[in-house]
Structure 1
Amino acid sequence: MKLIKLDAIDSTNDFLKAISSKDDLDNFTVVTAENQTKGKGQMGSKWQSESGKNLIMSALIKDFMFDNEQFFNLSLIVSLSVIEALKSLNIPDLSIKWPNDIMSYNKKIGGILIENTIKSDGRIVSVVGLGLNVNQTNFDELPNASSLAVILGKPLDKTVLPELIIEKIKEKINSWETSASVFWSEYYNTLFRKGIPMPFKNLNSDNFGQNFMGIIQGVSSTGKLQVLLEDDSVSEFEIKEIQMLY
């Protein structure tokens, strides 16, 4: 694993995308930063992190996906890999809040943002961004967030995490063809609030802002959330169409 360490950068994802477009970087090249001034989350949200306390990393992943219908497979692999890495550190009650927030109990401890580029020859190159709250303890303005240090009651060495997570990702990519169904099952079983009645907010333009009750059933092969509605029908939602209220 090639590791590029930065002190401060606007976005590790943007930095890695820029250098990967110019250089023939090794697969699984990782960029980390102590401080990120313009961190990004899903749907353009900002990822805020105290300088020097958390894991901010982006990884280059090539030669895995060859069809844009497979985009969610990488999201699944990365989410499960982070979960496995955290389990090895004894972080309790881990789950994946669709599509790829990492939770412990009902608190968000990490988020994943994957940006895919389709090259002129059809190859798909992915930059996987991960923000993980490690040693930050002040979440006054983020009541739904927590960190590994808060959960375990002690600080951790965050420098061990990139290699640990990348090794898990490599293992899953290498065994994907024979183990895809197993990984999908693991992802289903790790979904936050799966099978529990809960309220949602509709973000569709037709019914924007309306709340409704539903039960998460699973996720489609293309990454849509499958929700059982009160009329016993199952609807599928894109990330921009629905918000969990918990």
Structure 2
Amino acid sequence: MYKIYPKTLFLGQKIQYLPSCQSTNDEAATLIAQTDPAEGTLVVTDNQMAGRGQRGNQWEAKSGQNLTASLILKPTFLSASEQFWLNIAISLGIYDLLQPLVGDALRIKWPNDVYVGDYKLGGILIENTLYSYNIAWSVVGMGLNINQTDFSYSTATSLQQQSPLPNGYDVAGLLSRLCETLEQRYLQLRSGQRDTLKISYLQILYRYQEEHLFEREGQYFRGTIIGVDSTGRLAIADHEQVRYFGFKEVSFV
């Protein structure tokens, strides 16, 4: 399985397939520690038993029904303070794959969840290894709900639920196409096209320029997302001031 042939320069040209594993991110980190893997190497599994999400959450995915993979990159052109630019490029690559299939309700929820309307279709977990002031390695974990149709969380959804096909989706075929869209966005980032990426990212950001309720340290407030700064902090306009929040400092309500 997963003999894919993406039309890419390097991304997805080498694949390590595991029928089952605890975490593809952990397996990718082990590859980095023990070998010198080629940039663009993918670690893919049918059954991820202990997938992780942001804030330590566990990722729920039934065996063989979804896309669970980790991508190894070497974004040495990014400093440690520029890590969020990789989130932007990866988010856009995933959006480019899914938007033609599910339509304009697709959004990226800051910092790195994939939503259709108010339902979560997938998530991204990027773990970086630093060398001096720059990123040496990045492991990009991706979990996308493809053919699964029953979830323990009422807010979860899948590609099959949003845009059903009689026999479901070809997960390997989607992974091959994802390699292509991810590489296009990554090469944009590597060539310095940050303004283009930022504009595209804000256009697909969940609840962008809409007033909503947020929670911080048990306190609720109304605000409007107006952007993301260069370090990845979410900018929320609260009355006449703009407040900036890191990954674990504010929650959507």
Q: Same fold (TM over 0.5)?
A: yes
Letter of the 1:31 counterpart: V
The Cα of 1:116 is off from its aligned counterpart by: 0.1
Letter of the 1:32 counterpart: V
The Cα of 1:73 is off from its aligned counterpart by: 0.6
Structure number with greater CO (CA < 8 Å, separation at least 6) is 2
Which residue of the other structure, out of 195, 218, 221, is the alignment partner of 2:209?
A: 195
In the alignment, the residues of structure 2 paired with residue 92 and residue 33 of structure 1 have an alpha-carbon distance, to the nearest angstrom, of 29
Which residue of the other structure, out of 218, 224, 230, is the alignment partner of 2:227?
A: 218
**Structure 2: unaligned runs, 5 residues or longer:** 1-12
Letter of the 1:76 counterpart: I
Letter of the 2:113 counterpart: D
> Could you say which residue in structure 1 is the equivalent of 2:175?
162
What is the total number of aligned residue pairs between the two structures?
A: 238
The Cα of 1:172 is off from its aligned counterpart by: 2.0
The Cα of 1:121 is off from its aligned counterpart by: 9.4
2:47 aligned with 1:35: yes
1:15-58 per-residue CA deviation (whole Å, 9 max, x = no partner) reads 11001111111111001111111110001111111111111000
Letter of the 1:166 counterpart: C
2:146 aligned with 1:134: yes
**Structure 1: unaligned runs, 5 residues or longer:** 203-207
In the alignment, the residues of structure 2 paired with residue 209 and residue 54 of structure 1 have an alpha-carbon distance, to the nearest angstrom, of 35
1:127-146 per-residue CA deviation (whole Å, 9 max, x = no partner) reads 0000000000002x211110
> Could you say which residue in structure 1 is the equivalent of 2:198?
184
Letter of the 1:221 counterpart: S
In the alignment, the residues of structure 2 paired with residue 12 and residue 2 of structure 1 have an alpha-carbon distance, to the nearest angstrom, of 15
The Cα of 1:239 is off from its aligned counterpart by: 1.3
Letter of the 2:187 counterpart: N
2:185 aligned with 1:172: yes
In the alignment, the residues of structure 2 paired with residue 65 and residue 35 of structure 1 have an alpha-carbon distance, to the nearest angstrom, of 33
2:246 aligned with 1:238: yes
SS at match of 1:26: coil
SS at match of 1:240: coil
The Cα of 1:89 is off from its aligned counterpart by: 3.2
In the alignment, the residues of structure 2 paired with residue 91 and residue 160 of structure 1 have an alpha-carbon distance, to the nearest angstrom, of 19
2:109 aligned with 1:100: no
Kept after mapping to 2: 8 A contact 1:65/1:71: no
The Cα of 1:157 is off from its aligned counterpart by: 0.7
2:79 aligned with 1:67: yes
Which residue of the other structure, out of 159, 162, 175, is the alignment partner of 1:151?
A: 162
Identity over the aligned pairs, expressed in percent? 34
In the alignment, the residues of structure 1 paired with residue 186 and residue 248 of structure 2 have an alpha-carbon distance, to the nearest angstrom, of 28
In the alignment, the residues of structure 2 paired with residue 46 and residue 242 of structure 1 have an alpha-carbon distance, to the nearest angstrom, of 20
Kept after mapping to 1: 8 A contact 2:106/2:204: yes
SS at match of 1:89: helix
Shift in CA distance, 122/241, structure 1 to aligned 2, threshold 3 Å: closer
In the alignment, the residues of structure 2 paired with residue 186 and residue 59 of structure 1 have an alpha-carbon distance, to the nearest angstrom, of 22
The Cα of 1:166 is off from its aligned counterpart by: 2.1
The Cα of 1:107 is off from its aligned counterpart by: 0.9
In the alignment, the residues of structure 2 paired with residue 4 and residue 88 of structure 1 have an alpha-carbon distance, to the nearest angstrom, of 28
Shift in CA distance, 167/64, structure 1 to aligned 2, threshold 3 Å: farther
Which residue of the other structure, out of 18, 30, 39, is the alignment partner of 1:18?
A: 30
